[in-house]
Amino acid sequence: MLTYDLDARESGPKYRYLYRCIRHDIRTGTLAEGARLPSKRALASHLAVSVSTVEQAYDLLVSEGYVFAKPHSGFFVAAGRVEGGAWRDDDADAADEPAPAIDLKANRESMGLFPAESWSRVMRGVLADRDDDLLDTIPFNGLAKLRASIAGYLREFRGISASPARIVVGAGTEYLYGKLLQLFGPTAVIAMADPGYKKLALISRGAGTLWEHIPVDEEGISIDGLRRGRADVVHVSPANVFPLGFSTSAARRAALLDWVRERPQRYLIEDDYDSEFDFDSRPQPPLFTQDDSDSVIYLNTFSKTLVPSIRISYMVLPERLMSVYRDQLSFYSCTVSSFEQLTLARFIDEGYYERHVNRLRRHYREARERMLELVEASPLSVIATVRRPSVGTHLLLSVDTRLSDGEVRRAAAERGMSLAMLSDYCEEPTVRTSQTVVLNYASISSERAPGAIDLLADVFRDDIARVRRREARN
Amino acid sequence: MLTYDLDARESGPKYRYLYRCIRHDIRTGTLAEGARLPSKRALASHLAVSVSTVEQAYDLLVSEGYVFAKPHSGFFVAAGRVEGGAWRDDDADAADEPAPAIDLKANRESMGLFPAESWSRVMRGVLADRDDDLLDTIPFNGLAKLRASIAGYLREFRGISASPARIVVGAGTEYLYGKLLQLFGPTAVIAMADPGYKKLALISRGAGTLWEHIPVDEEGISIDGLRRGRADVVHVSPANVFPLGFSTSAARRAALLDWVRERPQRYLIEDDYDSEFDFDSRPQPPLFTQDDSDSVIYLNTFSKTLVPSIRISYMVLPERLMSVYRDQLSFYSCTVSSFEQLTLARFIDEGYYERHVNRLRRHYREARERMLELVEASPLSVIATVRRPSVGTHLLLSVDTRLSDGEVRRAAAERGMSLAMLSDYCEEPTVRTSQTVVLNYASISSERAPGAIDLLADVFRDDIARVRRREARN
């Protein structure tokens, strides 16, 4: 029987230590190819740990290919990945790297708020009804039912009047953005905001499409910058100039619509991401509703408002672009399974989605206030000026520090914290965009927030001490 | 109350007639924007039809944007799509086109065989267990659990030893193929079989990648053709030279592996589509298992074996390509929702998938024999030579006819039948590939098959009469 001293581990969960022990024995050949591992129950009893500890260790070994399961007969050591049965460390060690204890970048917190109970109930309803749509081939742009639900939602909550025939459903915004690039063709140049979503440039490069970064001023993306460039397509998020978190001014919106109207080949992609979390009392309507030149593409996702593992986004195309899409790209199969499309359609139609978004908005509003109070009560307040974006789920902390942005990130990482700086979102960082922490409160529970703020203050402890000394002298 | 004479309709279902009547009134303005439609129950009783007839008509109107539903308050006429409230017929009329009564192209029959009961049970189990994976962000290449299940399946049923770390899960083969094109880069040239899957060329064109069609001879894709071309990547389906339906010869397989081994930049995409339906008693193992140069990409899908509306495909990458994928494309989010990934993983692990595929294989074997008997007993046998491919779900009927392939298709369409000809799959049709019907028996139930064969015989009635006269003379 395999014998390991689980108390000898220095830190981390038992199952991971057990996984490492067994992996070591497989790599060194102590456990040979084809060898049968003890049953989970037997090993658990032998090592005096719970069955679930062994189970998790085995799961990890299986998922990394060291071990394979034969249905109804047990777990066996797999053949090595390269000749001679030796094991190569391709991603094994990457998987071993601990996740940061505090991740202020990902949207982990919202996952706990996902209405799993209601979603499951709706799902069971869809299963019970055995809709024909479940088994039929899906139209290229998504099931008519889901497109109708989305159209209804847009009408009611964004004031958008969109025919379901002009909606395209796809597995994520990245996917739909890629399809748009195909529509625009290889000679298109795409303008995108700086700072902004850095993935857009990656996707454009991947598709072989040229792009330009256009600076953002206090009203939104720069029209002068746009006019100096040679792009005919611009990607903007008017409701949420990301990550600066303000809404594009009315004048700038009008100027954007003027720009797009000037030439027939121009298009504007309105990415309405996070517009659900607009805390302004009177948010402006989407540009899409003011477009009289059939040139605005509306784009949004359910992955942020529901949960990142549900991959459903959609876009509303201008009529003229929809007919090109139909001609050129409708041979691509829809990328979202019908089961999830039907579940989401009902989830919207029965009011669950609206209630969930409202609940999430309330939650984020409270989390924002709480985070603000924490920062103000902490030593951080000595060196940080807090900006509270009206849209989105983060605060911006301009800090008076002698550390470079890279040094801040490293110091945070040393303390087990993953941190984003405003310059991470910039193509060309400037003085204005440096030394600013992007504090995403959607990523952390209220219980853990105080600890995170303490750690952050510790990152800047020298600066805090310096400013305090200076203030004491004055 | 809306009053229409439903008995005045000439053909087609009542709901569709009702839909057309209401649509007409909306288009002409008889029903104005914002007008409330009668409740389903009230209209049903007024017109003396069932509630479900009204419901289906309303659903269609909603899905096409003529009408919108307000939760808890009813159905209302939507605003017109263009200025002045007038309605433009964009896809309304396309939706109106009746589907062919007999579709010998789509895989409609397999849908009825989908084990919806087991799938639902597994899904409920996944829901009940509330796995953390359901809410977490999905790794770029898919959940570890699903990749482990796929690796286990490949090991057991295809003899493939693949580390789950080298598997990439995506929403459909088209999506994964697109990602491969990105990996190969803009200067790559892709070789593909002629005849073969015509979508490959479309996807390549969409991605801006060059491609070449390489002729197929009786052993498989032509190596001479490949050597005369300038492609460094070849797409083949060795188990099923589609739609000719034979397995690539051992000599040709060896030659393909020689070709790919010659230069480090060469890759072979092994599309194993339909290999589950190989009726040969001793099918050959995948090329992937014989590749010693780390150059074969294995690609397969669950959409054909399960149901087209479940969008899950996967590929196993060579180690050197996986590391490029990780570097360059891992920023793309996985396109398959975790819920479906977990369901499929369990479906495989608990043996349901294997049982389903076995059942499907038996079903297709029987359907094939039945179809063969029908053709042989019909007047078609006078003019048709039937080839029975060893792989896939279709028969090939070479017909002695004076009709061109286009005339055959048109004559079939006039009889309400959608038909594929071998030349539909050819880039450069030749005498050898013309006048051959691709008779997909996965598309039609055993009840409807005799009627379809009668219709097909009717398409060729002049030829049958001609051959009979000739035979009578001799």
Q: Are A214 and A192 in contact (CB under 8 A)?
A: yes
Q: Is the domain of A324 the same as that of A409?
A: no
Distance CA B301, CA B299 (A): 7
Same domain for B362 and B436, yes or no, is: yes
CA distance readout (Å), A147 to A205, A377, B63, B87: 30, 47, 7, 19
What value does the mean pLDDT of chain A take? 87
Nearest to B459 by CA among B374, B370, B369, B384: B384
In a domain, B435, yes or no: yes
Confidence of residue A372 (pLDDT cuts 50, 70, 90): very high
Between A140 and B110, residue with greater pLDDT: A140
On whether both A266 and A181 belong to a single domain, the answer is yes
Name the domain boundary from A311, A334, A350: A350
Query: Which residues are paired to A217 by β-bridges?
Result: A220
Mean pLDDT of A115-136: 83
> What percent of chain A stands above pLDDT 90?
56
Q: What pLDDT is attached to residue A110?
A: 59
A173-213, pLDDT tens digit by residue? 999 999 999 999 889 999 999 999 989 999 998 888 999 99
Give the pLDDT confidence score for residue B25 in this predicted structure. Answer: 81
What is the number of structural domains in chain B? 3
- Work out the average pLDDT over B100-111: 63
CA distances from A51 to A22, A40, A42, A57, B314 (A): 16, 6, 9, 10, 32
Residue B309: which of A62, A123, A138 has the nearest Cβ? A138
Q: Which residues of B touch A152 (CB under 8 A)?
A: 62, 68-71
The predicted pLDDT at position A73 comes to 81
**Band (A279; pLDDT cuts 50, 70, 90):** confident
Q: Which residues in chain A have Cβ-Cβ distances shorter than 8 Å to B332?
A: 174, 203, 206
Question: Is B85 part of a structural domain of the chain?
Answer: no
Instruction: Specify the higher pLDDT residue, B3 or A141.
Output: A141
Say what the pLDDT of residue A80 is.
Answer: 64
Contacts from B260-263 at CB under 8 Å and sequence distance 24+?
A: B260/B234, B260/B291, B260/B293, B260/B295, B260/B296, B261/B292, B261/B293, B261/B295, B263/B232
* Residue B158 at interface with chain A, using a CB cutoff of 8 Å: no
pLDDT tops 60 at residue B98 = no
A189 shares its domain with A265? yes
Sorted by sequence, the CB contacts under 8 Å of residue B238 that are 6+ apart come out as: B220, B247, B248, B253, B256, B270, B284, B286, B287
Residue B88 domain-assigned? no
CB contacts, 8 Å: A333 with chain B: 172, 174, 303, 308, 311
The verdict on A298 and A369 lying in the same domain is no
What pLDDT does residue B432 have? 80
Q: Measured between CA atoms, how close is A204 to chain B, in angstroms?
A: 11
pLDDT value at A424 more than 50: yes
Q: What is the pLDDT of residue B110?
A: 60
Q: Is B210 on the interface with A (CB under 8 A)?
A: no
Does ipTM top 0.85? no
Which secondary-structure segment (H or E) carries A298?
Answer: strand A296-301
pLDDT at A226 over 90: yes
Amino acid at A377: A
What CATH number does the domain containing A409 carry? 3.90.1150.10
The pLDDT of residue A9 is 67
| pLDDT at position A112 over 80 | no
**Per the CB < 8 Å rule, is B308 touching A207?**
no
- Compare all CA atoms of chain B with the CA of A348 and give the residue at the minimum distance: B71
Q: In this structure, what CATH number is given to the domain that contains residue B45? A: 1.10.10.10
Nearest alpha carbon to residue B388 among B358, B407, B364, B420: B364
Per-residue confidence (pLDDT) for residue A82, from 0 to 100: 37
Residue where one domain finishes, among candidates A303, A332, A350: A350
Tens digits of residue pLDDT in B347-392: 999 999 999 999 999 999 999 999 999 999 999 999 999 998 888 8
* Cβ–Cβ < 8 Å for B340, A127: no
> Min CA distance, A173 vs chain B (Å)?
9
Q: Which domain holds residue B52?
A: 6-77
pLDDT at B16 over 90: no
**Average pLDDT value for residue range A460-470:** 95
- Could you say which of B309, B330, B350 is where a domain stops? B350
pLDDT, mean of residues B326-355: 94
Question: Degrees (nearest 5) of the Cα angle A320, A326, A332?
Answer: 140
Examine the pLDDT at B336 and tell me if it is beyond 50: yes
Q: Looking at chain A, which residue has its C-alpha nearest residue B124? A: A124
Residue A463: pLDDT band with limits 50, 70, 90: very high
Question: DSSP states of B27-74 as a string?
Answer: HTTSS-TTPBPPPHHHHHHHHT--HHHHHHHHHHHHHTTSEEEETTTE
H/E stretch holding A315 reads: strand A313-316
- Please name the member of A111, A135, A336 whose beta carbon is closest to the beta carbon of B311: A336
Predicted local distance difference test score (pLDDT) of residue B6: 75
Closest residue of chain B to A68, computed from CA coordinates: B152
Same domain, A346 and A199: yes
**A117 to each of A50, A352, B124, B129, how far by Cα in Å?**
29, 11, 12, 12
User: Is residue A83 situated within a structural domain?
Assistant: no
pTM for the full model?
0.79
Tell me: pLDDT of B331 over 90. yes
Q: Which of A337, A353, A443 to mutate to test the interface with B (most CBs of B within 10 A)?
A: A337
- Of chain B, the percentage scoring pLDDT greater than 70 comes to 92
For residue B336, is it within any domain? yes
CB neighbours (10 Å) of residue A12? Answer: 11
Residues B108 and B120 placed together within one structural domain of the fold: no
Q: Is there a single domain that holds both residue B317 and residue B170?
A: yes
Q: Report d(CA B392, CA B277) in Å as an integer.
A: 5
B47 touches chain A (CB under 8 A): no
Residue A90 domain-assigned (yes or no): no
Structure tokens at A404: 């470079």
Which whole number is the average pLDDT over A88-97?
A: 40
Q: Is pLDDT larger for residue A460 or for residue A132?
A: A460
Q: What is the DSSP string of A171-223?
A: SSHHHHHHHHHHHH-TT-EEEEEESS-THHHHHHHHHT-EEEEEEEETTEE-H
Where residue A260 falls among pLDDT bands split at 50, 70, 90?
Answer: very high
Q: What pLDDT does residue B111 have?
A: 64
Q: Are residues B250 and B365 in the same domain?
A: no
User: Is B81's pLDDT higher than 50?
Assistant: no
Structure-model confidence comparison of residues A305 and A147, the more confident one: A147
User: Residue A151: which of B68, B174, B203 has the nearest Cβ?
Assistant: B68
CA proximity to A417, closest of A381, A371, A451: A451
Q: Are residues A406 and A466 in the same domain?
A: yes
Same domain flag for B333 and B359: no
Identify the pLDDT of residue B97: 44
pLDDT higher at A112 or B468: B468
B15 domain residue, yes or no: yes
User: Does residue A95 carry a pLDDT above 80?
Assistant: no
In which band, very low, low, confident or very high, does the pLDDT at A84 lie, cut at 50, 70 and 90?
very low
User: Three-state DSSP class for A301?
Assistant: strand
| B402-422: average pLDDT | 90
- pLDDT over 50 at B90, yes or no: no
Residue A416 banded pLDDT, cuts 50, 70, 90: confident
CA distance B45 to B90: 32
- pLDDT per position as a tens digit, B180-209: 999 998 899 999 999 999 899 999 988 889
**Looking at the predicted structure, is the pLDDT value of residue B165 above 90?**
yes
Chain B residues within an 8 Å CB radius of A114 = 135
Q: B325 to chain A: which residues are within 8 Å by CB?
A: none
- B263 and B221, same domain (yes or no): yes
Q: Is the pLDDT of residue A159 over 90?
A: yes
Residue A65 pLDDT level (bands cut at 50, 70, 90): confident
**Beta carbons of A339 and B172 less than 8 Å apart:** no
pLDDT band of residue B93 (cuts 50, 70, 90) is very low
CB-CB under 8 Å, A138 with B331? no
Whether A245 is covered by a domain: the verdict is: yes
Contacts of B304 (CB under 8 A, 6+ apart): B107, B110, B273, B274, B276
A318 touches chain B (CB under 8 A): no
Q: What is the model's pLDDT at position A436?
A: 95
Q: Of A439-448, B1-10, B195-204, which one has max mean pLDDT?
A: B195-204
State how far residue A256 is from chain B, nearest Cα, in angstroms. 22
| Window 87-146 of A, Cβ < 8 Å to B | 88, 90-92, 106, 111-112, 114, 116, 120, 123-124, 127, 130, 133-138, 144-145
